[in-house]
Amino acid sequence: MESGIPLGVTFTFLVTSPIVNEIALGFLFISFGIKIAAIYTIAGMIIGVIAGIIIEKLHLEHLVEEYVYQIHMGETEIEEMNFKSRIIFSLNAVKDIVKRVWIFILIGIGIGALIHGYAPADLLVKYAGPNNPFAVFVAVVLGIPLYSNAVGTIPIVEALINKGVGVGTALSFMMSVVALSLPEMILLKKVIKTKLIAIFIAITGISIILVGYLFNIIL
Residue type, 96: D
The number of residues in the chain equals: 219
Q: Which residue ranges make up each domain of the chain?
A: 7-218
Q: Report pLDDT for 165.
A: 87
What pTM, to 2 d.p., does this model score? 0.70
The rounded distance, in Å, linking the Cα atoms of 57 and 69 is 20
At 121 the pLDDT is 64
pLDDT at 25: 81
CB 150 within 8 A of CB 43: no
Smallest CA-to-CA distance from 208 within 137, 159, 153 is with: 137
- Show pLDDT as tens, one digit a residue, over the chain (219 residues): 455 578 888 889 888 888 887 777 887 888 888 888 888 888 889 999 999 999 999 988 888 877 766 664 444 444 566 777 878 878 887 787 667 656 655 665 565 555 455 555 677 777 888 788 899 999 898 888 777 777 777 777 887 888 888 889 988 988 888 888 877 788 788 788 889 999 989 999 999 999 899 888 887
The single-letter code of the amino acid at 141 is V
Helix and strand totals (H; E) in the chain: 12, 0
CB 1 within 8 A of CB 66: no
CB 190 within 8 A of CB 65: yes
Rounded to 5°, the CA angle 145-164-113 comes to 20
